[in-house]
Amino acid sequence: MADVALQSIDAMEVFCSHDEPSMDLWYRFLNLGFRRGISGGSDAFVNQHFSFFPGGERVYVYTGGEFTYASWIDGLRRGRSFASVGPLLTFEVDGNPPGTERHFASGPARVSVGVSVSSVIPISRVEIVANGQVIAKVSSSKPTTHLHWQGKVLLRQSSWVAARVWAPDNDRISNGPSRWSERRSVSLTLAAHSSSSYVYIGDRPIFSAVDRDFCLRWLDSLVDRIRKDGKFATDTHREEVLSTFARARKVYEAMGTATRESQ
């Protein structure tokens, strides 16, 4: 909560051992206007028998015409990415990759969206998500290795837009759903997710009061735990941590009153 508010991270690792809960938390940050691209990692502990397989969950980054370490890092920071347990995902809004912006003087806004998925594991559904809500989808009655969707979507407020892929839970997914992870379905697993593109209408920011209040409650809970059970080498270190949470809280408190430009 504090790292995102204080601009301390460039992307969020959604694909790891808690994919779907991490996705829901990432959605809350996006709903508050934090432009953090998606990332992924295997969380492998090779000295334990239940460890995840290294490389089973990963992030892909579009670097443009040149593939270098610097261009990859820049692409990740700009949200030109998708995370996956297998499927390869292409997602565009008005012909542009994730991480880009569209601006409209007034709404509602209509944009073209395209998504294409090729997969080494069977997949069953692709969804277009805006501000956390499914606004379009394409499904296959039988598991398949390819799905595509192209169309226009109507947005009535400033929104982030992304694509996600669902697959039948099967043993071809090297890092199947974590035994610790809360899931929406016992038969489907989150297989891939793009970073977001952003559509702004007028000067209205992307904002959700519900998600702002959720983040404030989370921060308050952290502060309570520190005051009751926190163990620090010095009182100065304790106050430093509490001060960091206080600065983060001010960021959330200011939301809902600022314009998009000042955020």
CATH code, domain carrying 21: 2.60.40.10
Are 141 and 159 contacting, i.e. CB atoms less than 8 angstroms apart? no
Q: Structure tokens of 187?
A: 């038969």
Model pLDDT, residue 259: 45
pLDDT score at 182: 73
Q: How many CA atoms lie within 13 A of 142 on its CB side?
A: 0
249 and 132 in a single domain? The answer is no
Confidence (pLDDT) at 173: 82
| pLDDT value of position 25 | 96
* Residue-level pLDDT at 16: 86
Residues 55 and 107 in one domain: yes
The strand ranges marked E within the chain are 11-15, 37-40, 58-61, 81-84, 88-93, 101-104, 109-130, 133-155, 159-168, 188-194, 197-201
Distance CA 78, CA 205 (A): 18
Residues of the chain with pLDDT under 50: 259-263
Q: Where are the alpha helices (DSSP H) in the chain?
A: 2-5, 19-30, 69-77, 209-229, 235-254
Residue 260 resides in a domain: no
Asked whether residue 262 is assigned to any structural domain, the reply reads no
Last residue of a domain, one of 176, 201, 226: 201
Residues 111, 46 share a domain: yes
Is 261 inside any structural domain? no
Whether residues 23 and 107 share a domain: the answer is yes
Residue 6 within a domain: yes
pTM of the model: 0.92
Q: Is 218 found in the same domain as 192?
A: no
On whether residue 8 sits in a domain, the answer given is yes
Q: State the CB neighbour count (10 A cutoff) for residue 24.
A: 14
Task: Specify if 107 maps to a domain.
Answer: yes
**65 and 112, same domain (yes or no):** yes
Indicate if 8 and 96 belong to the same structural domain: yes
Return mean pLDDT, the chain.
92
Residues 220 and 99 grouped into a single domain: no
Q: Which domain holds residue 229?
A: 209-254
Same domain, 150 and 236: no
Q: Are residues 49 and 117 in the same domain?
A: yes
In a domain, 259, yes or no: no
Token pair in block for residue 217: 């409650």
Could you give the number of structural domains in the chain?
2
> What pLDDT is attached to residue 62?
95
Residue 184's CB is within 10 A of a number of other CB atoms, namely 11
Using the structure block, give the residue that is written with the tokens 């502060």: 223
Whether 97 maps to a domain, the answer reads yes
**CA atoms 227, 231, 234, 236: torsion sign:** negative
Q: Are residue 18 and residue 83 in the same domain, yes or no? A: yes
Pair 34, 4: CB distance under 8 Å: yes
The verdict on 67 and 195 lying in the same domain is yes
Q: How many CB atoms lie within 10 A of CB 27?
A: 20
Note the pLDDT of residue 179.
62
Boundary (domain end) residue, out of 201, 223, 240: 201
Give the pLDDT confidence score for residue 50 in this predicted structure. Answer: 66
Pairing of strands 109-130, 159-168: antiparallel
